[in-house]
Amino acid sequence: MRNALFTTLTIIFLAAFIHIVAVLSLPYLAPKNAWARVTALTDENQMIVLPAASPSHQSLPLMAPDVRYGVCRFNLDNGPVRLSTQILDDLWSIAFYTPSGENFYAITGRELKRSQIEIIISTQNEVGVKAGASLLDEIEDLIVVDSPVREGIALIRAPLLGPSYASQTEAALQQGSCSKNLPGASLQR
């Protein structure tokens, strides 16, 4: 009796352990994760507007059909990156992700309280702080985001207020940019 109980508990423990390991490893083993999809869609340090989601097509996993998305795949190997965009209302948000999908910074339109946004993305304790400091005279309310990784994704979510606002939202996203262009900033390390 004791031997059967021990065997049963061992099997349950092993099954639970294998299940947990399998579930936690799936994001790293998935061939079509968000990083792979964004890498296929755009070059580094370039802003693109993703096509509207539909039941048959989603550029990224779990896209909402009533939201438009702008994406920048940034690379900080050669210094900070400047993200400029327009925010039309309080519901818009900008989130930053590592290649494995971990969110390390997010901000909403409500928190920003302005329509034109300038963000400097840099690695922690590196050139970005210096670049941001030299740009403070040029740009009011500059945001400096310290990235824990050298490559990542900046994702702008722009919920539609209704079908009549789709073209206005699309135009605002199209005007966004993501580049190494940091006027007035010294990028030497």
Q: Kindly give the confidence (pLDDT) of every residue in the chain, 189 residues in length, as a single tens digit, with 9 standing for 90 and above.
A: 788 899 999 999 999 999 999 888 876 776 677 788 888 888 899 999 998 888 878 788 788 888 999 999 999 988 899 999 988 888 999 999 999 889 999 999 888 888 888 999 998 766 544 554 555 555 567 888 999 999 999 999 999 888 888 889 999 999 999 988 665 444 433
Which stretch of DSSP H or E encloses residue 123?
A: strand 116-123
Asked if 97 and 73 count as a contact pair (C-beta separation under 8 A), the reply is no
Between CA 41 and CA 75 the distance in angstroms is 15
User: Is pTM beyond 0.85 here?
Assistant: no
**H or E element that contains 49:** strand 47-49
The phi-psi region of residue 184 (left if phi > 0; otherwise alpha if psi is between -120 and 50; otherwise beta) is left
